[in-house]
Homo-oligomer: A and B are copies of this chain.
């Protein structure tokens, strides 16, 4: 699974810029926050339909390359139990000019939240856990 991992995301590899045509790079990282919707969070479990999720993330990279004037788009999503502050998702975009990098990165994180079969289960400091509400897939019946 090229776009999924079970341990810390290797940011150095995502940051590497060996394409001399690139003038701008943007690295977005999402991480586990201590509060959500007013509740104190202690950690988060990410699960996935790994095969479909990896494919959806690959599709998002391809579509970003088609839709925006960027040179590369790499996305890694972490699965499993994460602690506060752990990075759950990283999106690295490189482009010749900066506006396209911002637009593509922003588009990609929204697409991830809407289309990729990954689920969050939040753990709270009071011991409770719950799956968060999510985005219904276009293919829902």
Q: Which A residues are closer than 8 A to B by beta carbons?
A: 11, 15, 17-18, 20-35, 84-85, 87, 96, 98, 101-102, 105-106, 109
A111 to chain B, nearest CB (A): 13
A100 to chain B, nearest CB (A): 12
Copies of this chain present: 2
Contact present for B29 and A25 (CB under 8 Å): yes
The main secondary structure of chain A at its interface with chain B is: mixed
Contact present for A84 and B24 (CB under 8 Å): no
Contact present for A34 and B20 (CB under 8 Å): yes
A44 to chain B, nearest CB (A): 11
Which B residues are CB-close (under 8 A) to A15? Answer: 11, 27, 29
Q: Contacts A17-B85, A21-B35, A85-B18 given; indicate if A30 touches B109 (C-beta within 8 A).
A: no
Contact present for B20 and A24 (CB under 8 Å): no
